[in-house]
Amino acid sequence: MSQTVDPSSAYFAWRHYHPHESEDPSAVWGAAWRAGGRAAIAASSELAELVPVLRALLETLEDGCVEVEFRTAEAHRPIWEDDDEDECRVSW
């Protein structure tokens, strides 16, 4: 589980541990650059974890199992006398 860090609180935490470097603009810029790189790597790793899940979902959809289950469930759905066909129809 990853934690998101508020950028302003991360800056003040860095400033607390590096009081003299926080006075140098190039040091602040460098620290921000490194923090941005770490955030990009963390985001990429989270995205990479989604790839197997998305691949499995794609295989399931391509397999047709979902459509078969949906059509089977739809065929066995009880039809009520007060069902309004227009209310159930989806229009885009």
Going by the DSSP 8-state scheme, the letter that residue 82 receives in this structure is T
Range of the domain at 55: 7-77
Does residue 56 belong to any structural domain of this protein? yes
Does residue 84 belong to any structural domain of this protein? no
Does residue 85 belong to any structural domain of this protein? no
Which tokens in the block code for residue 56? 């499995």
Does residue 51 belong to any structural domain of this protein? yes
Full pLDDT tens readout for the chain, 92 residues: 455 666 667 777 777 888 887 788 888 888 888 888 888 888 888 888 888 999 988 888 888 777 787 778 777 766 666 666 666 666 66
Going by the DSSP 8-state scheme, the letter that residue 77 receives in this structure is S
Which tokens in the block code for residue 25? 């603009």
Cα–Cα distance for residue pair 44/42, rounded to 1 Å: 5
**Cα–Cα distances in angstroms (integers) from residue 62 to residues 58, 65, 67, in the given order:** 6, 8, 9
Q: Are 54 and 71 in contact (CB under 8 A)?
A: no
Query: What is the pLDDT at residue 81?
Result: 63
Query: What is the pLDDT at residue 87?
Result: 63
Does residue 1 belong to any structural domain of this protein? no
Does residue 45 belong to any structural domain of this protein? yes
Cα–Cα distance for residue pair 30/33, rounded to 1 Å: 5
Q: Residue length, the chain?
A: 92
